Amino acid sequence: MSSNENSNDRPITVGVIDDDPMICQAMRLILEDYSAGRLNVVFTCTDGSQAIDETSGHHPDVALMDIAMPGMDGIETTRRLRALPRPPHVLILTSLSPSGTVERAIEAGAEGFVSKTDAPEEIIRRITDVCVGLPQFNPASQRQLINDLNTQQPQSRRDEARAMLDALPEREREAVVLAAEGFTNAEIAERMFISERTVKAHISSAADKLRMGRVQMARLVERADLPERL
């Protein structure tokens, strides 16, 4: 951002991007009427391509970005704005419905979220605070990010556990899975058509490779949530 960004002698410049012209007009009125001259809306537009052109020309300090737009959506537009030589801060202007929206927006370079239904003073505060490097997450965006992470974490842990088991030789893996399912060494030997001594060797070798004891390996199999065998 420019060196004037934190200066008190000029307003913070803002671009508003939303596919609904009424939202653009309402945001312009809110930001300019309630900010007592602290904010200046330098452009509004209704699609991503125009947003890139307007931002390149006006160099706003902050872009308020809708997500659901025809053609280039708000996340891709955010990514392109943040790649400009003089990138604006981007606050997502949204009602946050699709799962994954928050995480995808952050990955694209957004620094926070503003609800279209937030009070004017709250929207203005978020715009001024993001300019001094404070990420802006309203309660709705915080809840969604936590929900998304909680949804993804078990899947990530499952995939990691499956990869660890898949790295074992097939017969060792089979012995470990059967042991985790509660079968004794004798029962495993019978099912695998091998001796108990070989079962012990398979499980011991797998334990060395995984650096785990028998109980830990059972937990690993549980976490892997393997498909049921026919």
How far are the Cα atoms of 65, 66, 194, 208 from residue 27, in angstroms, in the given order? 11, 12, 74, 62
* pLDDT score recorded for residue 125: 93
Residue 5 CB contacts under 8 Å (≥ 6 apart), including other chains = 12, 61, 131
pLDDT at residue number 216? 87
Give the length of the chain. Answer: 230
pLDDT score, position 114: 86
Per-residue confidence (pLDDT) for residue 2, from 0 to 100 = 40
| Measured distance CA(172)–CA(164) in Å, rounded | 12
List of domains in the chain: 12-145 (3.40.50.2300), 167-224 (1.10.10.10)
Q: What is the pLDDT of residue 8?
A: 58
pLDDT by 10s per residue, the chain, length 230: 443 444 457 899 999 999 999 999 999 999 999 999 999 999 999 999 999 999 999 999 999 999 888 889 999 999 999 999 999 999 998 765 555 577 778 878 888 888 888 899 999 999 999 998 887 776 666 566 656 555 556 677 788 889 999 999 999 999 999 999 999 999 999 999 999 999 999 999 999 999 888 888 988 998 888 887 64
Q: Note the pLDDT of residue 178.
A: 95
Amino acid 6: pLDDT = 46
Pair 86, 41: CB distance under 8 Å: no
pLDDT at residue 97, rounded to an integer: 52
pTM above 0.75, yes or no: no
